[in-house]
Structure 1
């Protein structure tokens, strides 16, 4: 399978603090989920991959272009990349369509007819086709988030990078976005706190903590790390990572020594993530 992007020993430091430790991964077509706690380095890693932030060391290759080698390579690679940051600032007074048209011009869509067609196409993709003439300031928070995703889709990029794209979306909108992303031909890298999005959508999962990749594999492989370690019963497991009372009245325990009256249940992505995080803290001597 064709490799879309390569991170080879990439790291990033800000002053005396290391945000991303040396990371080496190959990204191929499909949907890659990036999971990690706040401050783990997710956004920094996505900014490095998008070429909006230079690495402190290592090599980044996008669509065969070494973006750490020259400015010309970065410019050419950016034509193959779509990027939706966590926070998008919309120009005042613009409509949804004029905002997208403005960004299409910046992306060097010089033909007006082709540009107008592309704007309509991406608006339709995010179900905002009937909102093109509406000012961005009048759109709801969820609609603005979908508009932010639409701008990243301009030009059908080979590499699509989305930082928390489902923030502010209701369940129906999240499901719609999953359908859209799963049908794209290129490589999609999505940072999210929604573990249900990962289990429903992603071909591959990267778990990052303290700037380092702690897990790289498929969703079934991630779930396998928690097999037999999640229990349900009247009482909590001793030493569990997390416990909570479910709607059935039984207590769900992630990890720990199960109580005699409990039984094993299938783990979720969230369960496996919590266990992985706990084990990472133990290795680092953090309680």
Structure 2
């Protein structure tokens, strides 16, 4: 099995050093294994993702010396494929329409929290206590009420039986790890505005593009169990995973677009060279 991984940023802003570090991890591991690293633009969030950010990503990565096969897959061009994937899960009886707003969900969690970490800072919805009747659902649809599609963890357990708790994945250099597929509760698989979600799109594309290894930050460890569950439900292979530590700022907080972390574009415009940036990445390389 030839090593094949991907770097898959979202063009919702300019790349910063944290993105560059993640890209370097993927490309360097590719070089070590003699494999291939592809680039994918995960732009299903059509409100926040912009063409100018997509072009900036291409420019920044090329400036840093990273090369990738063409063409680059752009997720916003493939909504039909993700809709079909969601329909497959619906056909298995594993999804349901959820008419609740985010405020409804938060209020429900506040009234009857199910476990640690649930609430405004860690929203986890475990599903309705009582399923909506077919008549009520039909009435709400007839009124034109918007809804999202959620994955029913309970129905997944019913379908897979004891196998559900045996799901797992391989971590490079660490061995087998239990998936904890229910850690995120009944997640949204089809958003109200775009009809899909990150979870559907990424699992679909990793399989389509024959990704054998996924190199991602430790901040995405928790979501991996859900992706392993989706891979099993859809009959897809589960890649090998590798989780890299995150670069942080001087306060120890991880770099993020929303916090206006210094972008590669701004560093380039300030006169830094690719070698300067790579040196910064090496110096900032987290330990552990």
Q: TM-score, normalised by structure 2?
A: 0.29
Which structure shows the bigger proportion of residues in strand conformation?
Answer: 1
Q: TM-score, normalised by structure 1?
A: 0.29
Which structure shows the bigger proportion of residues in helix conformation?
Answer: 2
